[in-house]
Chains A and B, each alone.
Chain A
Amino acid sequence: MSAVAEYTIAVLLLVGGFFTLVGAIGLARLPDFFTRLHGPTKATTLGVGAVMLSSVVFFSSRGEGVGVVEILITVFLFLTAPVSANILAKAAMHIGVGTTGQTRGKPWDQ
Chain B
Amino acid sequence: MMSRLGFPQPYLSLTLFLVWQLLSDGISGGSVVLGAVLAWLIPQITRGFWPQRPAFIKPWHLPGYLLRVLLDIVSASVTVSVLILRAREPRSAFISYPLQLEHPLAITILASTISLTPGTVSADVSDDNKTLLIHALDTDDEQAVIDEIHRRYEKPLLEMFQ
Binding site for B on A (CB under 8 A): 18-19, 22, 25-26, 29-32, 34-35, 37-39, 41-43, 45-46, 49, 68-69, 72, 78-79, 81-83, 85-86, 89-90, 93, 99-100, 102-108, 110
Known: A31-B90, A100-B92, A107-B133. A68 touches B22 (CB 8 A): yes
- Flag if B93 contacts A86 (CB, 8 Å): no
Q: Mark B117-147, 1 if CB is under 8 A from A, else 0.
A: 0110111101100000101010000100000
**A24 smallest CB distance to B (angstroms):** 10
A26 neighbours in B (Cβ, 8 Å): 80, 84
Complex: chain A residue closest to B114, CB-CB: A82
Size of B's binding interface in residues, CB under 8 A: 36
B23 at the interface (CB under 8 A from A): yes
Kindly identify which residue among B19, B74, B119, B124 contacts A110, using a CB–CB cutoff of 8 Å. B124
Q: Across the interface, do A22 and B84 meet the contact criterion of CB distance under 8 Å?
A: yes
A97 CA / B111 CA spacing, docked (Å):
22
Q: State how many angstroms separate the Cβ of B12 from the closest Cβ of chain A.
A: 13
Residue from the list A34, A69, A106 in contact with B121, Cβ < 8 A = A34
Interface residues of B in 30-66 (CB under 8 A from A): none
Q: Does B151 contact A (CB under 8 A)?
A: no
Nearest CB to that of B26 among chain A residues?
A65
| CA gap between A100 and B115 in the complex, in Å | 21
Chain A: CB-nearest residue to B139: A104
Q: How far is the CA of A85 from the CA of B135 in the complex (A)?
A: 11
A41 to B115 alpha-carbon distance, docked (Å): 8
The answer to whether A103 and B111 touch across the interface, beta carbons within 8 angstroms, is no
CB B84 to nearest CB in A, in angstroms, measures 4
Query: How far is it, in angstroms, between the C-alpha of A82 and the C-alpha of B124 when the chains are bound?
Result: 12
A109 CA / B108 CA spacing, docked (Å): 21
Q: If A31-B90, A106-B94 touch, does A69 touch B116 (CB 8 Å cutoff)?
A: no
How distant is B115 from chain A, measured CB to nearest CB, in Å? 4
B89-A38 in contact (CB<8A): no
In the bound assembly, the distance between CA atoms of A45 and B135 in angstroms comes to 18
Contact of A86 with B123 in the complex, beta carbons under 8 Å = yes
| Whole-angstrom CA separation of A34 from B122 in the bound complex | 11
Q: Do B126 and A110 touch across chains, with their CB atoms under 8 A apart?
A: yes
A-B contact pairs, 13 of them (CB 8 A): A25-B85, A34-B123, A35-B90, A35-B92, A37-B135, A46-B77, A68-B22, A72-B22, A82-B116, A82-B122, A83-B112, A89-B135, A93-B123
A90 adjacent to B115 (CB under 8 Å): no
| Interface membership of B105, Cβ < 8 A | no
A104 to B73 alpha-carbon distance, docked (Å):
25
